[in-house]
Structure 1
Amino acid sequence: MTSLALRHRIGQVPGWIVLLAWAAAVALPLYILIVSCFKTTAEIYNDKFGLPSAWTFQNFISAWTHVDFGRYLLNSLGVTGAAVVFTVLFAAMAAYPLSRYELKWASPVLAFFLAGIMLPIRLASVELFTLMKELGLLDSRLGLVFVYVAIRLPFAIFIFANFMRALPRELEEAARIDGAGEWRVLFLVILPIVRPAVAIVAIFTAIAVWNDFFFPLIFIFDQDLRTVPFATMSFIGQYRTEWGEVFASLALSMAPVLLMYVLLARQIREGVGAGGGLK
């Protein structure tokens, strides 16, 4: 090994140390979550890092049946799925003219959308609650979906606009010569090419909506309409908490998002790589 290669290897050591420390910081909570799913509450208190005395699925069974976890899961799947679909659809429709047409007002409109990323929506919770009440959307899944779509649109438009700007205009011109209208250009030409952007928007929207506790708390009053975070809270009592069931419910709630990430992982990696070359 030459001295130049040796110096290069030594120069990489600090970066590897930081990566290993970060990996350990991420892996430790996951390890505690996994082993705690199979422990009793007493075992968790006695040794939070140790392995369970018996590997059983009793905590998962109790978590599923104790609070009708399936109902909460279906509510979250419905709300999250609708929010993802509408966010991708509306963001693509808004980003397409802003990024592909030569419009004088495109930049101010895009800046207006991007301002939504910087504004904390929770500061307007009272006004939003009043608006939802006047529209008759309180205590409904549809109202919750509308709120999530409105919150996620600025970020989604930002992602789509940057990806669409990098595409050559010859793609649209060729499609129009073949007789395609604007809708067909967008959905049959542009969107298939920017699949990484679709994957990024979908996974970030899904994670944000799936894990949200705040808006279902203030907009949903019917227990039958509440989402997965409320199922986990149901196991936390005033005098006693079954921590094994809490960890099992957390693992169950993480499973759909992890599955979605695994399915979209390749598209997300491509999107991150392509994002570095966007101008």
Structure 2
Amino acid sequence: MKQLVYFGIEQAKACLFPVTIFLTLAITRMIDIPFIARYDFILLICLVTQVLMVIFKVETWDEVKVICVFHIIGLSLEIYKVHMGSWSYPESAYSKVFGVPLYSGFMYASVASYMCQAWRRLNLKLEHFPPNWLVFLLSIGIYFNFYTHHYIVDVRWILKLATFIIFFKTFVYFTVNEREYKMPLSLSFLLIGFFIWIAENIATFFGAWRYPNQQAHWELVHIGKISSWFLLVIISFLIVALLKHFKESRSPHPINKMGTNKIS
């Protein structure tokens, strides 16, 4: 139980950015902010939070670069999905682009922020990480399937199966209070996807966006969305992992425990 408490504390610290977004969504849902549209105010809070996290060294510049990449990836996906009618942002704002408020990109970026924070705080290491080219192709396939499944066959189940095969031997090591633990990397994807699904229910309850079945009144987000988040988590995790791998390859003293391909 003591180790679980330590683990929970470190996880909470890693969730600083997502928690800020959720608090802002909740507060602006209950209180009308004068002189500024709700979506614009949320964007302002996200920008200020990001700047403060850099100033107070909660995040490094390398981590901010990863977050910016995922912000662009997420915003592009949002614009496309809103255009296809998958969900909507009904409130008006000056910061909306093609019907999508710019703060939505920060919701995706907050996932990357959590990844970076957790990686550093829990001293994550990956053992038997697959070849970079294979990881890159998997990420590209997952991302473009979010676009192409509207027109051609949805291959997400094939991509999930490929993920379990590719990462079958890959384990993630993490340290809690100087004790090291490990779990299959695919299991960590699934667990993170599940908790993001819970967060998605909270976000839609506070009006971050609406699915078609939530237009009249709020309903629980379909449990099948966990699979979508499972795949999206893979993309964000692999972006961070590839950055870590690239930095280690440039290091004069790379960490390589017990002769295995272990990325720290």
Q: Same fold (TM over 0.5)?
A: no
More strand by share: 2
Per the normalisation by structure 1, the TM-score is 0.29
Structure with greater helix share of residues: 1
User: Whose Rg is larger?
Assistant: 1
| TM score, norm. by length of structure 2 | 0.30
